[in-house]
Amino acid sequence: MSKSLKNTLKIGIPLLLGFFLVWYSLSKVSFSELLEYFKSANYFYVFLGVFFGLLSHISRAYRWVFILEPLGYKIKFANSFMAVFSAYLINFTIPRAGEVARATILTNYEKVPFEKGFGTIVAERIADLIIMFLIVGITLFLQFDFIFDFLESRFNFNSILIAALLLLSLGFVAFLIIRKSTSGLALKIKTFITGLIDGALSIFKMKKKWAFIFHTFFIWIMYVLMFYVTTFAVPELEGVTIGAVLIGFILASFSIAATNGGIGSFPVAVVTGFTLFNLPYSPSLAFGWIMWTAQTAMIIICGGASLICLPLFNKKK
């Protein structure tokens, strides 16, 4: 497969999936009905959710400032903030291109070598991935009975047990094969896992490791709060449980990687999680669209302003 075809597929498939999911969600709930939910929403909670989202992004920008200090680079917070928002905006065009752009902005305006800037972004992603796994683990612990009953109602208990044992066995066999294999794929997997472990351990070797850990937790607490408080904007979702919030949040978080900025996939992921808890379909879908629209508007405004202001703020460079 040629490089140009690969790049076309990387850009085209998420876009097509996003457009399909937009069509799918509008086939379940009409646009006019969604519009009514937008009109009746309590925008105090929408803006409160946007505020929590903004705090998480500010914390991310600040975390990036001191993760670069041990490497010998003291960058301006304003450049870090604008680079973060520019990256979010660029990710709406080409998935994952924002990370490359973010490191490039730092190279242009702060003279940080690209590979070092990009390396810190990878370290951040590893820390975020660990927190995401932690949230999944907490959700499984808190909602174990619900998840078990849900699976048991759809599958036979013996089938679940056999499937779990089979997965564990396959995982163990795969581990042994990958450990001994010298194929390209096996080496990539081993490199990825080693990178995760090294990245996680490197956090504890940082001079400001506790500040880094604090901001990492703060970022994700703000994400969850952003999601939770926005549910109050839709009156029909009154009384939503913490279990529904956590499962909806997890599904929505993974959906962002599926399409450009979560277009189409975010509302569908939310409604999938909420309906598991017997929450009404239409308000759940409307909430997904309201939240995605509010957060996307913030990224477009702040990201667009950042791209304009970066060369003005650094005009001497």
Give the angle 43-41-301 at the CA atoms, nearest 5°: 45
Task: Tell me which of 37-46, 47-56, 200-209 is least confident.
Answer: 200-209
Average pLDDT value for residue range 28-34: 85
Q: Which residue has the tokens 């999911």?
A: 21
pLDDT band at 226 (very low <50, low <70, confident <90, very high): very high
Structural domain spans, the chain: 42-313
Q: Is the pLDDT assigned to residue 224 strictly greater than 90?
A: yes
The tens digit of pLDDT for each residue in 156-167 reads 656 656 766 777
Residue 22 is encoded by which pair of tokens?
Answer: 């937009």
Q: Is the pLDDT assigned to residue 217 strictly greater than 90?
A: yes
Report how far apart, in Å, the C-alpha atoms of 48 and of each of 229, 232, 279 are: 7, 10, 23
SS (H, E, C) 98-141: HHHHHHHHHHHHHCCCHHHHHHHHHHHHHHHHHHHHHHHHHHHH
The tens digit of pLDDT for each residue in 152-191 reads 666 665 665 676 677 777 777 777 777 777 777 777 776 6
Considering 19-28, 44-53, 138-147, the range whose residues carry the highest mean pLDDT is 44-53
For residue 126, count CB atoms less than 10 angstroms from its CB and return exposed for 0-12, middle for 13-18, buried for 19 or more.
Answer: middle
Task: Determine the pLDDT at residue 219.
Answer: 94
Task: Determine the pLDDT at residue 293.
Answer: 93
Task: Determine the pLDDT at residue 15.
Answer: 65
- Is residue 156 within 8 A of residue 223, CB to CB? The reply is no
pLDDT band at 301 (very low <50, low <70, confident <90, very high): very high
Q: Is the pLDDT assigned to residue 41 strictly greater than 90?
A: yes
Task: Determine the pLDDT at residue 257.
Answer: 76
The tens digit of pLDDT for each residue in 244-298 reads 899 999 988 888 877 777 888 899 999 988 988 889 999 999 999 999 999 999 9
Average pLDDT value for residue range 27-49: 90
Average pLDDT value for residue range 300-312: 91
Give the angle 11-17-22 at the CA atoms, nearest 5°: 125
Task: Report which of 260, 292, 257 is spatially closest to residue 12, judged by C-alpha positions.
Answer: 260
Residue 303 is encoded by which pair of tokens?
Answer: 């990201």
Task: Determine the pLDDT at residue 220.
Answer: 94
Q: Is the pLDDT assigned to residue 1 strictly greater than 60?
A: no
Q: Is the pLDDT assigned to residue 8 strictly greater than 80?
A: no
Task: Report which of 273, 238, 259 is spatially closest to residue 146, judged by C-alpha positions.
Answer: 273
